[in-house]
Structure 1
Amino acid sequence: MKSNKEKNSLSISKQTSFSPSRVETILPPKLASRLDLYPENKRRPVNKTIFKNEYFQLTYNIKENSLNVSSIGDLVYSAIPYDTARNYIQRAAIQYLLHPEEVHQYIRSHKVNLETYLKLSIFQMTNKRVNKNSAKVIQAYNAIFEDPLLEIQILGRLLQHDETGALSANLPGKFLFSENVKTGISGYVSEYLNFIVQLTQELPITTDGKHVYLLETNGKDHFISDKHLTIESDIQPALDLLPQEIKQRIENSIIVAKQTTPANNKLLLRSEVGKELSEVRKNYNAHSVDPRELEQYFENVLPTENPNVVNVVSDIHTIDGTLPFNNKNFNILVGDIADSHVVNEEIKGLYVIGNHELAAVLPDSPNKEDQEWEKWTPFFKNEWFKELMRNPDDSWDKLPTGNHIYYECVKVELGKRFPKVNVLNNSSIVHNGIRYIGLTIPVALVKRKKEQQKFILNSLNYLLNNDYDIPTVIVSHAPLFNELSMLSPKSKSYKKNYVCSDPKIKQLFEEYNIIGAIHGHHHIPASSGRYKMVEFAGKERFVVCSIYSKMNTGFELMSLLKDEKQNKK
């Protein structure tokens, strides 16, 4: 039986990405036969409709060999401008269907933070401050558990809070029932639940609210878990908690495709309110605050202990001088661990240098004549170093490539602070039969790609050292290049020219047993998946990116390493 602490963790952040090769390139007959049902497929070269109702659709992307659920144009997800929680709320909806009691416990475990949000929400509405014991806060907290559709949204907001930091903009619409009913999100959630249940009942599909997969591949189920909805899932306990008309619609939708909209969950349709919403967004001032500035007002209610055997984490950016998680095993720290002077004499593993370490290791003293600045004086003549001292954010694109002496000085300083960690500055170690090569790539030097890739080639040639057989993982803060990056082409940070253009690098990957690459830097949330399998230089390899968040204190690399050892056998 799970302890209360384990129950409160709910484990719903443990999202897993699966290789496209695990999804058949040719759709199974039951899905392929549906393509002719939708005339729009004739004019769609890539995204083909497989299944849809009035408000949602399942599409198949031919190029990416992937399935995706999306709302159809007229349905508005939220009247709150720039509301970024849709994926979190969809994940929360699936978890509510599967584990309603665990959802209740998870939300209750966050009571202290919810009270803070409710106090702020009431202040944003009334401009009057209240304390957590006031009748208004107590009433608002109890209201969460009286409306399942609001409870699903609150769970989604808490997932976002734990993964990306504290929320600040438009809190009343997100946390107060009286204001939330005006946002249209409850109507969106009810239609999403209705569609997703119908979809998983009628087709061999499974979903966790973010990713969608074929339930069967070659007759075998690869990723059925208690976090994925399937035709076999027992959702009756959750349905019994939903409003009667929603419950009835969902139960009917399993058999009947025709739907009616419940009166108390009004949908926002773009055809009706689009102009009004456009004006609101046009004049909207979010008054949002950087989540890091708000952390002092919230408590971490989640466990900080991490049991992973090989634990991958990056981009902690800690500012209080301590690591916010604890792992007693082998850690792979992939840069940007600290924005302050952090010392940890117990943590073990390896550490590669990120861009923020370059400034964090410098003395706090503003007086450049102090003795503690002496070791850094040889770099004073460099413009990039002057910029690093003045304003680090303006210096990143000017940094030297990773074979510069400055990085060795940074390595020495980090080694003093983390005495049990191997700081890899273009060097390697072997741990439990796996060779880890740590390359110093603090940022993606897109405009100096040729210079960067020359450095990568020379470093790998030296560090691979003609040992062709040992399984090897390459670790760097910024990704080596696009082919071995978790960054989506849809991201604003994505640079299409940052590709591997040196054929000699590809040749090395062909010849050596390089099984995967690990990077950080781009702050890719765990909800987007922590790893993927890619085809590069004639072989399938894993790419891992695991940034830190309160729900994600690291990724267990052993699952991928075990797969590799099993494949080798």
Structure 2
Amino acid sequence: MNALTSVKSSSVLPSELVSRFDLYPENKRRPVNKTLFKNDYFQLTYNVREDSMALSSRGDLVYSAIPYDTARNYIQRAAIQYLLHPEEVQRYIESHKTNLEKYLMLSIFQVMNKRVDKDSAEVVQAYNAIFEQPLFMIQILGRLLQHDETGPLSANLPGKFLFTENVKTGISGYISEFLNFVVQLTHALPITTDGKNIQLLETAVQTHLFDEHTMYKRLTFDSDIQPALALLPQEVKQTIEESMLVTKESVPANNKPLLRSEYGKELSEIRKNYVAHSTDPNELMKYFENVHSTENTNLVNVVSDMHTIDGKFPFTNNHFNILVGDISDSHVENEDIRGIYVLGNHELVDVLPDSRYKKGEQWDKWRPFFEEHWFKVLLVNPDESWYLLPPGDHVYYEVVKGEVEKRFPRVNLLNNSSLVHNGIRYIGLTIPVAQVRRKKQQQRFILKALKELLAEDYEIPTVIVSHAPLFNELSMLSPKSNAYNKEYVCTEPEIETLFEQYNILGAVHGHHHIPPSSGRFKKVIFAGKELFVVCSIYSSMNTGFDLMSLIDLSRGYNGN
């Protein structure tokens, strides 16, 4: 199944939805994925085994003729935002004008082999064209959301940013059918969606996938989409209005979707002969501006995996921060930031002196590790060393801690230690990477550290923080991810017993670079009780997640 989005439904499926299984004959031969709703191009299915819903295309519909186009989820979210508040979408795009001009200049060069400046007629015309075509505007918003979350784009820029080239990609047809389906879906079933995440309407109020500072909102049956409909092409508007009556849609004549049944062979050849020429976003960041505010006001702000490469701490927060590792790749210092910090794998390299020279006093503290195989590999090829690293109680991490503390004097680095802030105990465990190959050794370390740090205080609300997740049961990583390893489960029953006995509210991790738009927390059942799991990586439009709402909800859940 070509899944677009899948999110736990957070409750038993209502009987009114279960009864819909009988409407679709294919459900008789599908023991797991049951169809709940479908039209010619999309379907909503329910996974009985995982109690989750997934929105997917039905196979014939092509999202984009651009090879390896990774923006689909961003563009779907953009489509919902356009339906809900088109004026805000235009303002968001206009706020990115400087960066858009760079993209347009590069796009024009790639098409015409002509260098132009931002004030040229070509750039001005291409920029204005964005606001003349609503379906194209939706795409531009999606590209900007991707830019802000994962970094600058570099491949196939003309098809993404020039309307004259974009009309060949089929994306506008995809968007028109997607809009048609989600409106039809939300008017037929008690479902709400933001274009990526999908949820039962009755549980949406209790579940907060995004914090109040983001621009993401959800479409429901009573959303006011009339202002947006008035701006869309007439044939798209008419189709959506018919969908609101839950009637069979017509295919917009001027926004015909790209179908594999018609263009499959041609698309296969394009992909087969495609030569990737994209550039790492980190290398391009210096050419673009961050148009978002760098001030963060979260009271308990969780952020991880900033991987700062310019030597500058990228945001300000005057409250309590939880820095969940991989903060710096450029010897970053910050005298103002307060809170706690746990070590990630990149800190283990970032603190080292220039590895080309192993002489002088600056290397004295590292000499005890020179003969260690893992340290030799760490110096030469860090990416090959991660799974050779010693367990989290090794003396090396204490030396690294000392170096990090010099750079962040107001932060408490928790190297298998704890700190109480406003009545919440934070336990920081040093787990730089997921040690799947040495899982038993890793979990013996976790058990020993937790026993010592939890001690005899069973009642204090506690949050456990580590860079890599403790194990799969307390991880945000999707089983569908290439990084997921099904063997990384909790096999130490005493750890589960500790979670049963103590007032542990949840766990916080980073490491896996899960996009914030995928949701930065979830609720899980572990050790017989509900816990939260949080992963909050950094992006220019997301400088952290406020943990306070989850803490308050969890304390209520636990009766405190």
> Which bracket does the TM-score occupy, shorter chain normalised?
over 0.9
Which AA in structure 2 matches 1:53?
A: N
Equivalence for 1:43: 29
8 Å CA contact retained: 1:55, 1:74: yes
Report the alpha carbon displacement of residue 19 of structure 1 after superposing the two structures with TM: 6.6
8 Å CA contact retained: 1:441, 1:476: yes
Is it true that 1:532 corresponds to 2:516 in the alignment? no
Equivalence for 2:471: 481
Any idea what SS the aligned residue of 1:33 has?
helix
Change (3 A) 1:545 1:332: same
Change (3 A) 1:26 1:267: closer
Residues paired across the two proteins, number = 548
Change (3 A) 1:267 1:516: same
Please, which moves more after superposition, 279-288 or 158-167? 279-288
Any idea what SS the aligned residue of 2:339 has?
strand
Please, which moves more after superposition, 105-114 or 461-470? 461-470
Q: Residues 448-494 of structure 1: CA distance to partner in whole angstroms, max 9, x if unpaired?
A: 11111111111111111121111111100001111100001111111
Is it true that 1:199 corresponds to 2:199 in the alignment? no
Which of these residues, 557, 561, 566, is aligned with residue 551 of structure 2? Answer: 561
Report the alpha carbon displacement of residue 45 of structure 1 after superposing the two structures with TM: 1.2
Equivalence for 1:448: 438
Equivalence for 2:332: 342
* Distance (whole Å) between structure 2 residues aligned to residue 346 and residue 396 of structure 1: 31
Which of these residues, 78, 94, 100, is aligned with residue 114 of structure 1? Answer: 100
Equivalence for 2:539: 549
Is it true that 1:306 corresponds to 2:314 in the alignment? no
The runs of 5 or more residues in structure 2 that have no matched partner are 1-5
8 Å CA contact retained: 2:531, 2:554: no
* Distance (whole Å) between structure 1 residues aligned to residue 246 and residue 539 of structure 2: 42
Report the alpha carbon displacement of residue 229 of structure 1 after superposing the two structures with TM: 0.8
* Distance (whole Å) between structure 2 residues aligned to residue 368 and residue 26 of structure 1: 62
* Distance (whole Å) between structure 2 residues aligned to residue 337 and residue 97 of structure 1: 37
Is it true that 1:26 corresponds to 2:26 in the alignment? no
Q: Residues 473-516 of structure 1: CA distance to partner in whole angstroms, max 9, x if unpaired?
A: 11000011111000011111111101111111111111111110
8 Å CA contact retained: 1:51, 1:57: yes
Which AA in structure 1 matches 2:344?
A: G
* Distance (whole Å) between structure 2 residues aligned to residue 191 and residue 324 of structure 1: 39
* Distance (whole Å) between structure 2 residues aligned to residue 64 and residue 265 of structure 1: 36
Equivalence for 1:416: 406
* Distance (whole Å) between structure 2 residues aligned to residue 229 and residue 556 of structure 1: 24
* Distance (whole Å) between structure 2 residues aligned to residue 458 and residue 215 of structure 1: 43
Equivalence for 2:47: 61
8 Å CA contact retained: 1:56, 1:72: yes
Which AA in structure 1 matches 2:201?
A: L
* Distance (whole Å) between structure 2 residues aligned to residue 164 and residue 452 of structure 1: 31
Report the alpha carbon displacement of residue 272 of structure 1 after superposing the two structures with TM: 0.9
Report the alpha carbon displacement of residue 366 of structure 1 after superposing the two structures with TM: 2.9
Which AA in structure 2 matches 1:522?
A: H
Equivalence for 2:360: 370
**Could you state the TM-score of these two structures normalised by the residue count of structure 2?**
0.96
* Distance (whole Å) between structure 2 residues aligned to residue 535 and residue 416 of structure 1: 39
Report the alpha carbon displacement of residue 365 of structure 1 after superposing the two structures with TM: 6.3
* Distance (whole Å) between structure 2 residues aligned to residue 246 and residue 503 of structure 1: 56
Equivalence for 2:503: 513
Which of these residues, 175, 197, 206, is aligned with residue 222 of structure 1? Answer: 206
Equivalence for 1:13: none
* Distance (whole Å) between structure 2 residues aligned to residue 256 and residue 309 of structure 1: 44
Please, which moves more after superposition, 229-238 or 197-206? 197-206
Is it true that 1:460 corresponds to 2:460 in the alignment? no
* Distance (whole Å) between structure 1 residues aligned to residue 126 and residue 297 of structure 2: 37
Which AA in structure 2 matches 1:37?
A: L
Equivalence for 1:5: none
Equivalence for 1:272: 262
Report the alpha carbon displacement of residue 27 of structure 1 after superposing the two structures with TM: 2.4
8 Å CA contact retained: 1:58, 1:70: yes
Report the alpha carbon displacement of residue 28 of structure 1 after superposing the two structures with TM: 3.2
8 Å CA contact retained: 2:187, 2:246: no
Please, which moves more after superposition, 64-73 or 116-125? 64-73
Is it true that 1:324 corresponds to 2:314 in the alignment? yes
Q: Residues 114-134 of structure 1: CA distance to partner in whole angstroms, max 9, x if unpaired?
A: 001111111111222111111
The runs of 5 or more residues in structure 1 that have no matched partner are 1-16
* Distance (whole Å) between structure 2 residues aligned to residue 244 and residue 36 of structure 1: 36
* Distance (whole Å) between structure 2 residues aligned to residue 91 and residue 428 of structure 1: 39
8 Å CA contact retained: 2:8, 2:51: no
